[in-house]
Structure 1
Amino acid sequence: MELGGAFTIFLALCLSCLLIIIAWKRINKGGKLPPGPTPIPFLGNLLQIRTDATFQSFMKLREKYGPVFTVYMGPRPVVILCGHEAVKEALVDKADDFSGRGELASIERNFQGYGVAMANGERWKILRRFSLTILRDFGMGKRSIEERIQEEAGFLLEELRKTKGAPTEPTFFLSRTVSNVISSVVFGRRFDYEDKTFLKLLQMINGSFIEMSTPWAQLYDMYSAIMQHLPGRHNRIYYLIEELKDFIASRVKINEESLDPQNPRDFIDCFLIKMHQDKNNPHTEFNLKNLVLTTLNLFFAGTETVSSTLRYGFLLLMKHPEAEGECPYELPTW
């Protein structure tokens, strides 16, 4: 009995050592990365980064390693860019070199490399070129879209005036307005602010954005090989995005049934027409999967990122009211 117990402990130690060696090899394999603190197997640099003060931890590492450095979030290497100059050099001056998308495990099982936002290489170039062309055709960057924005801003002001100056949570006020601008392009219509389907979509978008920032999602991104087999909150984002995909797929079906190739009504119609033109090309990127996911990318990004930027902008103006005087436009009084 004692011999059996000792043998079990010996096997467990051997297995642990093997796992540590594998993790260490994965951390140190290939690629030339910027300098950074030395990681330890499995945990990486997690012990050197305070979860309650991540920004301050990174700024402290910047003092030692400069504005560009590498940290390991578990076994996952992450290159950190600190400061305006470093970000500008990477994302503006050397935009082509940094155009690739790294894998984000928490949403990779939803997208699997499809859709303009999560694609890489030639697929990304093709979908990006097509998407930009269609968005411009429907007025993005032109006077016509400005008129749509002004019209939607009028609806927003009406809703805000209904609050009669009472303290208000602005998230869904701004989300509805911003989302209707991109909806008019990708779906060919705006939604009524009280439309239940529309409100549910916005709740799912907001919810999935929140879920991406939870510790559970961060754990999934760091240890996806293990976490993908476990139940828990880290799976919630998957189901939220799948529900959004189902909505987009239902809109695609509606458009297919009433498609007029001579009169495209929206982004979905234009993609369907291109799919029909390329139907005999087995290597085309214009397929149903890329249609659904690219439309979702545009709808999600056109809703969440812009409305969040506006929300933070208003918060900054509230904190620094003196900055309002420097605003080139007169701010409305609600």
Structure 2
Amino acid sequence: MLRFLWESISLQMLLIFLIVFLLVADHMKHRKPKHFPPSPFSLPFVGHIHLLNFSNPQITVQKLTEKYGDIFSMQMGSTSFVFVNGLRMVKEVLVNQGENFIDRPEIPLDRDVFSKMGLISSSGNLWKQQRRFTLTTLRNFGLGKRTLEERIQEECRCLVDVFGDEQGKPFNPHFKINNAVSNIICSITFGNRFDYHDEEFQRLLQLMDETVSLHGTIMSQLYNSFPSIIKFLPGSHQTIFKNWRLLKSFVKEKISKHKEDWNPSESRDFIDSYLQEIAKDNGDGIFQEENLVACTLDLLFAGTETTSTTIRWALLYMALYPEIQARVQAEIDTVIGQARQPALEDRGNMPYTNAVIHEVQRKANIIPFNVPRLTVKDTVLDGFHIPKGTVLLTNLTSVLFDKNEFETPDTFNPGHFLKDGQFWKRESFVPFSIGKRACLGEVLARSELFLFFTALLQKFTFQVPPDTTLSLQFKLGITIAPQPYKICAMPR
């Protein structure tokens, strides 16, 4: 009887049965619970991939926000996630109910590199211990103190010198800025800075930059949605893995050199301090060398890429808005002059310059969707049910470009941060995120942005090269960066 039934079933019938079975299985797997945030129509297996603008995902999210409101859901491959928009909802997730959304999800590209270690990708007690230790160590090595300010000022002098070497001719400032900014975090983590002509370090910066950019490619985005399939294919994701192996080797080599002349009673830098923690680890495995590698790379990436990218946006905006640049320089000349370097204590007397820096951060919007969160327990959010294990994205773009918060959100306007001629600190300014997992390097980044920006505009006027048109088009990667450009730094 079974053989008769088998022989009587055609291949066509078998394929139809298989397709129906897979469709039902996919539907059951991704069936949403009651009162889950609304979602557009999704395709079987691939979800909402047909709606996504891979070159500018912000456009997709904005359209869905207009249709579904401040909270909606999407599915990419096997991953479902919820988008949250607007200051009220972002605060609810990151501050008011922050403990319910405190963990990080497993993003395939990051998981395959770090296995949920380090400062950015870790969760739970591991993250708390690493963050607490890192904040303490950064403070010990000068965060918020005059010693670190002097270190940044010294690097400002070096950057001004290499800009001056260009003699007003067009040049790409990208890696000069990268090197200067990276040297600050390197002096804390490795105990030394790197010369701008150090070939090994230049190669490291190029690897970091390439890795940041490749995260924005279609293959890398597809890998995060369909890792079990894409991992067998060639593409940018394979280059990312290769680069990470080289970057890890660089850090491991630095750690090995530290071990050779390590004095347990004296701590020269972050690596030394971490080695001390490893030596006294009580067996819970929180402090181990694999975590040291991950934390060091997190500091190196976060401490270089975000600030460097923001400064590159700042110089681009100054060249495109010469009248704003002239007002900044007039304020610098009045408060600081040309005889001495800018200092952090000048910031309070320079409201317009401070407003311009904040407007650069707002308009550049370099991390538009923040770093993803994971729901740690069943939670009610604005009347919707968010089950434990749901990936959640807080759309910072919706806050930084909110027309109800900013008078001209799509225009570069330093007046957004000025009131009666004084600097106006706004609650809706959230580029560093908010809550317990806000950027731990915010104090350092704000110091670097002010000192580098004012030091450069004190000595140079930035201009568009002759017969050149500069663009505000961006390059999508881990961050939103300006397209490569050349600029003229004219000595003042």
TM-score by length of 1: 0.90
Is 1:299 the counterpart of 2:297? The answer is no
Q: 2:353 aligns with which of 324, 327, 331?
A: 327
C-alpha displacement of 1:318: 3.0
Is 1:288 the counterpart of 2:267? The answer is no
Q: 1:112 aligns with which of 112, 115, 126?
A: 115
CA distance in structure 1 between the aligned counterparts of 2:324 and 2:95, rounded to whole angstroms: 27
Is 1:123 the counterpart of 2:149? The answer is no
CA deviation string 1:152-191 (max 9, x = no partner): 0110011111111222212101100000000000000001
Q: Which has the higher strand share?
A: 2
CA distance in structure 2 between the aligned counterparts of 1:25 and 1:85, rounded to whole angstroms: 33
CA deviation string 1:62-103 (max 9, x = no partner): 111112322222332233334455444433555444332122
Q: Which has the higher helix share?
A: 1
C-alpha displacement of 1:8: 4.0
CA distance in structure 1 between the aligned counterparts of 2:113 and 2:55, rounded to whole angstroms: 29
C-alpha displacement of 1:30: 5.9
3-state SS of paired residue (1:81): strand
Alignment of 1:3-82 (within 5 A): 7-28=10-31, 33-82=36-85
CA distance in structure 1 between the aligned counterparts of 2:91 and 2:124, rounded to whole angstroms: 22
Distance verdict in 2 for CA 1:25–1:165, change over 3 Å: farther
Is 1:223 the counterpart of 2:226? The answer is yes
Q: 1:207 aligns with which of 207, 210, 217?
A: 210
C-alpha displacement of 1:28: 2.3
CA distance in structure 1 between the aligned counterparts of 2:253 and 2:322, rounded to whole angstroms: 45
CA distance in structure 1 between the aligned counterparts of 2:122 and 2:213, rounded to whole angstroms: 23
Amino acid at match of 1:103: E
Is 1:164 the counterpart of 2:167? The answer is yes
Amino acid at match of 1:232: G
C-alpha displacement of 1:36: 2.4
Q: Which has the higher contact order (CA 8 A, sep 6+)?
A: 2
C-alpha displacement of 1:14: 3.5
Q: Which residue of 2 aligns with 1:250?
A: 253
Distance verdict in 2 for CA 1:99–1:17, change over 3 Å: same
Kindly indicate whether the alpha-carbon contact (under 8 Å) linking 1:43 and 1:73 is maintained by their aligned counterparts in 2: yes
Kindly indicate whether the alpha-carbon contact (under 8 Å) linking 2:54 and 2:218 is maintained by their aligned counterparts in 1: no
Amino acid at match of 1:235: Q
3-state SS of paired residue (2:74): strand
Distance verdict in 2 for CA 1:167–1:207, change over 3 Å: same
Higher deviation after alignment, 29-38 or 155-164: 29-38
CA distance in structure 1 between the aligned counterparts of 2:313 and 2:76, rounded to whole angstroms: 28
Is 1:264 the counterpart of 2:267? The answer is yes
Kindly indicate whether the alpha-carbon contact (under 8 Å) linking 1:35 and 1:65 is maintained by their aligned counterparts in 2: yes
Q: Which residue of 1 aligns with 2:154?
A: 151
Amino acid at match of 2:248: K
Task: Report the identity percentage.
Answer: 35
Q: Which residue of 1 aligns with 2:311?
A: 310
Task: Note the aligned Cα RMSD (angstroms).
Answer: 2.4
Kindly indicate whether the alpha-carbon contact (under 8 Å) linking 1:24 and 1:40 is maintained by their aligned counterparts in 2: no
CA distance in structure 2 between the aligned counterparts of 1:290 and 1:200, rounded to whole angstroms: 24
Kindly indicate whether the alpha-carbon contact (under 8 Å) linking 1:183 and 1:299 is maintained by their aligned counterparts in 2: yes
TM-score by length of 2: 0.63
Kindly indicate whether the alpha-carbon contact (under 8 Å) linking 1:110 and 1:241 is maintained by their aligned counterparts in 2: yes
Amino acid at match of 2:283: P
3-state SS of paired residue (1:141): coil
Kindly indicate whether the alpha-carbon contact (under 8 Å) linking 2:26 and 2:44 is maintained by their aligned counterparts in 1: yes
Kindly indicate whether the alpha-carbon contact (under 8 Å) linking 1:44 and 1:73 is maintained by their aligned counterparts in 2: yes
Amino acid at match of 1:294: C
Amino acid at match of 1:254: K
C-alpha displacement of 1:276: 0.7
Distance verdict in 2 for CA 1:94–1:260, change over 3 Å: same
3-state SS of paired residue (1:291): helix
Amino acid at match of 2:249: D
3-state SS of paired residue (1:268): helix
Is 1:275 the counterpart of 2:278? The answer is yes
C-alpha displacement of 1:259: 0.5
CA distance in structure 1 between the aligned counterparts of 2:186 and 2:246, rounded to whole angstroms: 17
3-state SS of paired residue (1:47): coil
